[in-house]
Amino acid sequence: MWEVLETAKNVAKKSRQVQINKQALGRFSRKVLADEIQVPRWNRLYHFSGSDEATVSYLLVLDSLNFCFWPAPGKVKWEIEYESRKLSGYYALAAALKQAIKSGAPVIKADYLADLTLGKLKEILGGEEELPLLEHRLQILNELGQVLLEEYEGQALKLVESAGGSAIRLVRLLVEKLASFRDVAEYQGHKVFFYKRAQIFAADLYGAFDGKDWGSFTDIDKLTAFADYKLPQVLRHLGIFDYAQALAQKVDQEIYLKAGCFEEVEIRANTIWAVELIRQELERMGKGLRAFEIDWMLWNLGQHAEFKVKPYHRTLTIFY
């Protein structure tokens, strides 16, 4: 998306707290080229798969809630049990929704979402402790249900269909119709566009449908990286990100960065631009990967213990 990429590039040029190390970026690119790091397959263990309508609806609900899984200071992280194993974070959310659907809960029905209560949402998610920003999550699902009922006959498929096979049009539709997808910040008096969860929905459709049917888009290559808190953690571990001392101390001490502050915007914008530079470097070396595939690679690396030595930045937000 040109507005996401261009505004990220502009922030990266002006950044004071975050710098991209081109040598480390080159080293990582060569590892990818040598196939030491590969694009992960779509995870079918934790994700639900059913009819086309059910799968698309599931992914839209999932990506509507795909943000902020870490616990507040002094709190225990939210976990669920799934097939005799403990899950936390994004995969816990994916699996919790999958279990709810399998149990017969109508969590992907627009009318149910529109009237969903906090108590019911807690039952659906289950697990130990609870996710942060739970009331915000409820508002997001209520809004989603209402918009689907009012404009798309209650069907997520109709929303996707209205994008006409364009991932970018789908992203813009989500941003236009649903306030919770309007992931925009400001930096030095100019707007910066991220659209993290809206872009992830298009990429998840691609992954879940193997790039066919409802996952077939003519412009999927135009998606950018999805600026979250895990990718910057990985980029920093790889040496691709250099934080200024003041920012490094805040991140390492888990001091909250206010949503929209210049430091947070620099971290997110540089994430998008660093992935684009990796994509360009790989293309120069003869390996064609799309930005969202590089994003998937980095996020997957972030699930390994060695990439968690230093913490990720903390920002309380519904956008990631």
Please report, for the chain, the start and end positions of each structural domain, with discontinuous segments joined by +: 2-308
Task: Say yes or no to pLDDT of 72 above 90.
Answer: no
- pLDDT at residue 257, rounded to an integer: 98
Contacts of 122 (CB under 8 A, 6+ apart): 130, 134
pTM: 0.96
Q: What is the mean pLDDT of residues 42-62?
A: 98
- pLDDT at residue 160, rounded to an integer: 98
- pLDDT at residue 65, rounded to an integer: 98
Q: What is the mean pLDDT of residues 31-49?
A: 95
The packing angle between helices 52-64 and 134-151, to 10°, is 140
Which residues are tagged catalytic? 228
- pLDDT at residue 44, rounded to an integer: 96
Give 253-303 pLDDT, tens digit per residue.
999 999 999 999 999 999 999 999 999 999 999 999 999 999 999 999 999
- pLDDT at residue 170, rounded to an integer: 98
Local structure of residue 129 (DSSP, 8 states): S
Contacts of 148 (CB under 8 A, 6+ apart): 110, 113, 154, 155, 156, 158, 159
